Amino acid sequence: MQFFAPTHVYLENDCVRSHKEELLSFGGRAFIVTGKHSSRSNGSLADVLAVLEEDGVPYLIYDEIEENPSVETVAAATEKGREFQADFVIGIGGGSPLDAAKAIALLLANPQEDASCLYEPKKLSALPVVAVPTTCGTGSEVTPNAVLTRHAFKTKKSISYNIYPKLALVDGKYLASASGRLLIHTAVDALAHCVESRLHVKANVYNHMFSEYGLALWHKIIPALTRIADHPETAPKELLTDADYETLMLASTVAGMAIAQTTTSLPHALSYEITYNHGIPHGKACGIFLAAYMDEYAKNQPEDVDRVLSLLGFRSTEEFGAFLRHLLGTVAVPAADIALYADNIMANASKLATYPFPIDRDAIAGILAQSLETE
Ligand code: NAP
Ligand code: FE
C-alpha cells in the first residue's frame, strides 16, 4: 500500500494574492497557459498578472488552449515557451489548460525532445507547474495526469509521465462566472472520479479517505446542482452561495486526490470515445456511464456499490441513474458505434486492468447500450 500527494494546495478566498511569495518562488520567467476567454472574465488571469507585475516578473501568455487540448496545441505552445525561455509554467483554467500546462512544462524542461516523447516510456521531468483551477471537476491541480487529444488515434489519452503541480491555488470565486451546464458537467466529473477511484483495482484504505469523503461531500452539493438543473434560465450565481462554490471546488480537489492514487477506470475510458466522436463535454461523457458501470460491478461485489450509493444518499443504481439523467440529459449515438467502442475498450489493456474483475466484450457493450440512446 502506498500514498503520495506532493502538491501544496491552498483552498481559500484570494489565495493567489495571499500566497504570492510561494507562487513566485518557482522561477523568474513565467509561461502562462490558459484558454481563449474564460480566465479573462472570471478574474483568475488578472489575479495572477497582478502578482507577477508587482514584482516585475517577466511573463508570456499563451491563451489558445482548446477544450480537450491536442498534442499539436501543446507542441505549438512549447515553441512559444522555448523562445521566451520560460523557467516555470502557470496553468489557469479548467482541466484543459491545466493538463496542457503539465505537458508543456515537460517539453520545456527537455529541449532535446519533441511532442513524440509524450507517449514514450522515457524518464523525463518537467519545469515546475503552478495550477489555478477555474472549473470544479478535473482535480488536475492535484493529479499527476495530463489527458491530451491524439488526433492520430482519434481518441484522448493521458501522457506517459506523472507531473504533479508544485502548487495549487484554488479559489471558489472563479466559479461565479460559470454557466449552469459547466458547473453540472464538471461537478459530475468529480463524482465520476470518486466513484471510479472507490471501485478501482488499486482502491485501498488510504485512497478510501479521499474517494469516500469526496462522495459524502458530493451528497452535500446535490441540492445546489438540482437547483441549477431545475432553473436553466436563472444564472447560477443567483442560485448558489459562496459556500456552495467553495464546496464544489473542495469536492473537485478531494476527488482529484482520490484518482491521483488510483487513476480513473472504465467510465472515463468510455467517455473518451463519445467526447472524441460526438463532442460530448468530459464530465457529462463520464457521468452518463456511471450507473450502468455500477450495475456491472455489483455483479461481483455489491457491497462496494451499496457503499457508494449510501454515501451519495441513493437507494439504488436506478434512482442514481435517473438523477444523473435529470442533471445531464441523454447522449445518442448511431447504433453501429456501440460495437466499435466496445472493440476499442477491449483493446485498451491498461484501462481494462483498472477494473478489479475479469470483464468481457459483452459486458462492455452492455454498459454502452444501457447508457446511450441510439439514433
Ligand atoms: P475545460 O475543457 O478546461 O473548459 C471547458 C470550458 O469552460 C471552456 O470553454 C472554458 O473556456 C470554460 N471555462 C473554464 N472555466 C470557466 C469559468 N470559471 N467560467 C466560465 N467558463 C469557464 O473543462 P474541464 O471539464 O475543466 O476540463 C476537461 C479536460 O480535463 C478534458 O480534456 C479531460 O480529459 C481533462 N481531465 C483531466 C484530469 C486529470 O486528472 N488531469 C481528470 C479529468 C479530466 P476557455 O476555453 O475560454 O478557458
Ligand atoms: Fe475526469
To 10 degrees, what angle do helices 205-230 and 302-312 make? 50
Residue range 53-69, pLDDT digits in tens: 999 999 999 999 999 99
Give distance in angstroms: CA of 52 to centre of ligand 2: 31
Cβ contacts of 223 within 8 Å, gap of 6 or more: none
**SS3 assignment, position 307:** helix
Which of 266, 249, 273 minimizes the C-alpha distance to 338? 273
Residues lying with their CB under 5 A of ligand 2, a single-atom ion: 189
Residue 65: the pLDDT is 98
Place of cell 511569495: 21
Residue range 102-159, pLDDT digits in tens: 999 999 999 999 999 999 999 999 999 999 999 999 999 999 999 999 999 999 999 9
Rounded CA Rg of the chain: 20
Give distance in angstroms: CA of 284 to centre of ligand 1: 12
Q: What are phi and psi of 226, to 5 degrees?
A: -65, -40
Between CA 267 and CA 331 the distance in angstroms is 14
Which of 170, 342, 162 minimizes the C-alpha distance to 251? 170
258, 206 in Cβ contact below 8 A? no
Cell numbers that stand for 206 in this block = 488510504
Cβ contacts of 141 within 8 Å, gap of 6 or more: 7, 9, 98, 131, 132, 133, 165, 168, 170, 253, 256
Which residue lies with its CA nearest to atom 34 of ligand 1? 147
Between CA 99 and CA 82 the distance in angstroms is 18
Between CA 188 and CA 266 the distance in angstroms is 15
CA distances from 345 to 73, 224, 312, 353 (A): 26, 34, 28, 11
Give distance in angstroms: CA of 293 to centre of ligand 2: 15
Residue range 184-200, pLDDT digits in tens: 999 999 999 999 999 99
Mean pLDDT for 370-375 is 96
Residue range 16-39, pLDDT digits in tens: 999 999 999 999 999 999 999 999
In whole numbers, what is the pLDDT of the chain averaged over residues?
Answer: 97
Residue 212: the pLDDT is 98
**Beta strand pairing status for 332-333 and 373-374?**
parallel
Cell numbers that stand for 168 in this block = 495549487
Between CA 15 and CA 366 the distance in angstroms is 46
Mutation to probe ligand 1, out of 48, 67, 98, 141 (largest number of atoms < 8 A from CB): 67
pTM: 0.98
Pocket of ligand 1 (CB under 6 A): 35-39, 42, 67-68, 93-97, 99, 134-135, 137-140, 143, 145-147, 156, 174-175, 177-178, 182, 186, 189, 282-283
Residue 36: the pLDDT is 98
Mean pLDDT for 329-338 is 97
Query: Apex CA 203: angle with CA 220 and CA 313, to 5°?
Result: 25
Residue 306: the pLDDT is 98
Between CA 53 and CA 59 the distance in angstroms is 9
Within 19-118, where are the H helices?
20-24, 38-41, 44-54, 71-84, 95-109
Mean pLDDT for 203-213 is 96
Residue range 225-253, pLDDT digits in tens: 999 999 999 999 999 999 999 999 999 99
